[in-house]
Structure 1
């Protein structure tokens, strides 16, 4: 897996779904993001998912494992609450890790 520190041109990506069609995703699960190499995503980049569910924060961190032209495969590293299709991920610059 080639690591990168270059900033991607896009600031957000959306969760398309889980690799195995789960409705909710948790740590160690695989998910697909709707952005790929054409958008600047690359293996090793970390992304954060933040949202509120019934007033409670849901925060997760994912790492891109492999990026194709239009999609990326990422692994959930940590999470507080379930990740769902449609959740928005934001790139974590390397100095924030």
Structure 2
């Protein structure tokens, strides 16, 4: 994804787990989609990712953006995209 800040780009390349917290409009979703694009390209067979959020509206936005970025495979098992409550 083009146009990320240096900090967003560093996050998108980070290999470990992460918790993202920033104000509305800071580009969290866009940056996480950039990271998921990189991860999906190298994800071994039968492995998935988990994207957890506090709200259903954020989860819906992630799902829409994954579809737009051709990351539909991350919307199915073994990946999980949902709220913390749904995960637990």
Same fold (TM over 0.5): no
Q: Between Structure 1 and Structure 2, which shows a larger proportion of helix residues? A: 2
| Length-normalised TM-score, structure 2 | 0.26
Higher RCO by CA contacts (8 Å cutoff, separation 6 or greater): 1
Q: Between Structure 1 and Structure 2, which shows a larger proportion of strand residues? A: 1
